[in-house]
Amino acid sequence: MSLLVTGSIGIDTVETPFGKRQDVIGGSAIYFAYAASFFAPVRLVGAVGDDCPKALLNVFENRPVNTAGLEIRKGSKTFRWHGSYLKDMNEAVTVEVDLNVLAERAPKIPAEFLDSRYVFLANTHPALQQETLGHLKSVKLVVADTMNLWIQTERQELEKLLSKIHGLVLNDGEARLLTGQKNLILAARETLKMGPKFVVIKKGEHGCLLVSERDTFVLPAFPTEKVVDPTGAGDSFAGGMMGYLATQGNLTSATLKRALAFGTVVASFTISDFSLAGLTAATRDQIDDRWEKFKSTMSF
């Protein structure tokens, strides 16, 4: 089924204990789209400036990612992020960030994308997330991400957004900030009261938690000693999860669990190398193999 993602596309510089990569492709929509494309065709909506090297945008060649919604905006500059994991592999320190094109108007959604059924609103201003959503008339499942900045400065818009979506994906610190609850299950329950049918809390190396009225489901991260660059892990997780959900057409407990496990496994490929290299080196067969292994180690 049709899966649309809108979010950031950026040029990243990343430092980890394993080295430094300059001017590599990044951004939430990029990681999400690549991860989801292992499962379902993806429609990408996002904007870059005319300074963005074409080579960076070729990552979706031979992938089922429709880039008709990729706007190369004349006279604008591409979003840039410079992050460091030298202190803590579980949390990036932002060395520098230039919003550039992300601070301008939202990218236009192509007419051919307006019938999208599955939608992922990657982290951006909640008013823009609502605006995007307002154009889509056939949605079946809308999941959004958010961040500390909007929780602190755009609470009202964020609450409006929460009343319009089915699922919210956020990290543990954000969930605590949003609700004032330290216990993550209580934080998730509080969040449900704001509108979403389910909440997924990402805990980085500690895995994830899904809470709905019906389910409470926890998963550890896929155990791996190869953590080279955690950038994009959360968006890859969301991509794997939504990509799988888009192929299922239901939200039963079993489907949600399997989707979380696929998200977990896809993220484990992302963090195994810098930028998109972990994902571009992966195949669907490898993902399925690792998923089966994960499933078997989780059963006792």
Name the segment binding a second copy (CB under 8 A); options: 57-65, 131-139, 143-151, 181-189. 181-189
Verify binding: residue 177, a second copy, rule CB under 8 A: no
Q: Is 65 helix (H, G, I), strand (E, B) or coil?
A: strand
- Cβ distance to a second copy smaller for residue 102 or 210: 210
Rg (CA), the chain: 18
Verify binding: residue 258, a second copy, rule CB under 8 A: yes
Verify binding: residue 114, a second copy, rule CB under 8 A: no
- Cβ distance to a second copy smaller for residue 51 or 205: 205
- Cβ distance to a second copy smaller for residue 133 or 186: 186
Mask for 66-105, x = binds a second copy (CB under 8 A):
-----------------------x----------------
- Cβ distance to a second copy smaller for residue 17 or 64: 17
- Cβ distance to a second copy smaller for residue 79 or 291: 291
Verify binding: residue 186, a second copy, rule CB under 8 A: yes
- Minimal CA–CA distance to 37: which of 295, 283, 260, 261? 283
Angle at 181 between CA 179 and CA 185, to 5 degrees: 100
Buried b (16+ CB within 10 A) or exposed e, 261-298: bbbbbbbbbbbbbbbbbbbeebeeeebeebbeebeeee
Verify binding: residue 57, a second copy, rule CB under 8 A: no
Verify binding: residue 298, a second copy, rule CB under 8 A: yes
Cα–Cα distance measured from residue 292 to residue 287, given in angstroms and rounded to the nearest whole number: 9
* N-term to C-term CA, the chain: 34
Q: Which of 97, 103, 254, 281 binds a second copy (CB under 8 A)?
A: 254
What's the Cα-to-Cα distance from 202 to each of 187, 188, 218, 264, 267, rounded to whole Å? 13, 11, 10, 10, 11
Q: Is 107 helix (H, G, I), strand (E, B) or coil?
A: coil
Q: Which two tokens stand for residue 12?
A: 């990243």
Verify binding: residue 257, a second copy, rule CB under 8 A: yes
Verify binding: residue 58, a second copy, rule CB under 8 A: no
Angle at 39 between CA 68 and CA 127, to 5 degrees: 50
Per CB under 8 A, which of residues 192..251 are in contact with a second copy? 203, 205-207, 209, 216-221, 223-225, 227
Where do contacts with a second copy occur on this chain (CB under 8 A)?
Answer: 89, 182-186, 189, 203, 205-207, 209, 216-221, 223-225, 227, 254, 257-258, 260-261, 295, 297-300
